[in-house]
DNA sequence: TCTAATCTTGACTGAAAAGTAAAGATTTGA
DNA sequence: TCAAATCTTTACTTTTCAGTCAAGATTAGA
């Protein structure tokens, strides 16, 4: 029951975008530097977040990424759903539909546990928006210092 | 944020043991059959569960596995902790201690989300015992039919 | 004591997730 | 138009997780 790398870094990147002033963008190299991951890796995450409508991407000089919607309207539950393929999966098939491909036919105790946990987690995440994570993320000054150093 | 195979099948095997009458045991082939996994795989899980004190194992003819404690005193939270290495892990290090090996120094928003989720899940699981999952698991008759067929 | 049934252990194999690399496409501005 | 900056896409490599295999150790019972 661990958060996946995709979920964790996807969220982190969004929080970075949520913490720049409105209208500004962050480029791939900037995001990568801020999160301590490679540019390739960041690129893959941002591509996914763009595809699923959380960020806008603009190419070319002066391009970069920005949130597609206000940070206080993006709930962590939506983000996690996308980064997690939106399935309740066990290891003998998906619990979203009917389990008929394994020995655990019909309802079983474990099924209700897995589905229950999924609901609890989703519910908790549906009470938190990106904007609530900004600021605690790290000191704003420090962030800008890093970006400025990069720009030189 | 998915349950791992080890967690899921570890729990499943314990529920099977919880559902046999007191004093009886289940052998590796029986457990494997009931859960639809290989004997090797079941062996590994049971070894882990034995090592961490949830089951007793006896070797030799008439041997097998049984719960080491009453089913209504085994909480899912304990089981998951063991099957999950008892760590709150993100992907830039453990959140149990201090994060000093990555760019996310000090407290960050994501950290509180991950730790918070972990607490919510543990809390939910600490309200469920193995015995509460017995019976819903599958019809008892069906289970015994399978075991009896194997014995022939 | 011997054999069959059973758990135990460590090495091996395969699959899935994570991360990397490089070439392509688009845009801005000179 | 051209070059530089930027995102996009696909293929590849590495690492981690899951699962398998086979030999070993222990026990019960004949």
Domain that holds residue A37: 1-72+136-152
User: Does one domain contain both A52 and A87?
Assistant: no
| Enclosing H/E stretch for A56 | strand A55-58
User: Does one domain contain both A6 and A20?
Assistant: yes
User: What mean pLDDT is reported for chain B?
Assistant: 87
User: Does one domain contain both B124 and B136?
Assistant: no
Domain count, chain A: 2
Q: How many Å does it take to go from CA B141 to C1' C8?
A: 32
Distance of CA A70 to the CA centre of its chain: 15
| Enclosing H/E stretch for B48 | helix B39-51
User: Does one domain contain both A9 and A68?
Assistant: yes
Query: What HEC string does A67-112 produce?
Result: ECCCHHHCEHHHHHHHHCCCCCECCCCECCCCCCCCCCCCCCHHHH
Candidate from A35, A76, A124 with C-beta closest to B120: A124
**A68 to chain B, closest Cα gap in Å:** 20
Cβ contact, residue pair B136, A112, below 8 Å? yes
User: Does one domain contain both B10 and B68?
Assistant: yes
The answer to whether the beta carbons of residues B116 and B63 sit under 8 Å apart is no
- pLDDT for residue A36: 94
| Enclosing H/E stretch for B56 | strand B55-58
User: Does one domain contain both B93 and B145?
Assistant: no
User: Does one domain contain both B63 and B121?
Assistant: no
Percent with pLDDT over 70 in chain A: 84
Cβ contact, residue pair A104, B138, below 8 Å? yes
Rounded to an integer, the average pLDDT of A92-103 is 75
Supply the DSSP symbol for B60.
Answer: S
- pLDDT for residue A102: 72
Q: Which residues contact A64 (CB under 8 A, 6 or more apart)?
A: A25, A26, A27, A28, A30, A57, A58
Residues of A in contact with B125 (CB under 8 A): 113, 117
User: Does one domain contain both A93 and A68?
Assistant: no
User: Does one domain contain both A79 and A68?
Assistant: no
The ranges of chain B with pLDDT < 70 are 98-101, 105-107, 136-152
Which window residues (48-87, chain B) lie with Cβ within 7 Å of strand C?
Answer: 50-51, 57-65
CATH code assigned at A1: 1.10.10.10
pLDDT tens-digit map of A66-91 = 999 999 999 999 999 999 887 888 88
Quick check: A60 CB within 7 A of strand C?
A: yes
pLDDT at residue A141 tops 80: no
User: Does one domain contain both B34 and B99?
Assistant: no
The answer to whether the beta carbons of residues A125 and A5 sit under 8 Å apart is no
pLDDT at residue A142 tops 70: no
Query: Which one is predicted more confidently, A92 or B108?
Result: A92
Phi, psi of B53 (to 5 degrees): 85, 10
- pLDDT for residue A143: 46
Which tokens belong to A151? 């720009």
User: Does one domain contain both B18 and B48?
Assistant: yes
User: Does one domain contain both A59 and A102?
Assistant: no
């Amino acid at each position: 029951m661990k958060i996946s790398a995709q979920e964790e870094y996807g969220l982190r990147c969004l929080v970075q975008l949520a913490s720049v002033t409105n209208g500004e963008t962050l480029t791939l190299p900037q995001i990568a530097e801020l999160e301590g991951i490679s540019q390739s890796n960041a690129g893959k995450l941002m591509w996914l977040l763009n595809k699923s409508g959380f960020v806008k991407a603009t190419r070319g000089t002066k391009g970069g990424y920005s949130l597609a919607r206000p940070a206080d309207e993006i709930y962590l539950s939506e983000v996690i759903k996308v980064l997690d393929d939106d399935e309740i999966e066990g290891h003998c098939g998906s619990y979203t539909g009917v389990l008929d491909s394994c020995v655990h036919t019909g309802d079983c105790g474990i099924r209700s546990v897995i589905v229950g946990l999924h609901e609890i987690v989703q519910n908790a995440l549906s009470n938190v928006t990106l904007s609530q994570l900004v600021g605690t993320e790290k000191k704003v000054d420090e962030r800008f210092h890093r970006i400025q150093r990069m720009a030189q």
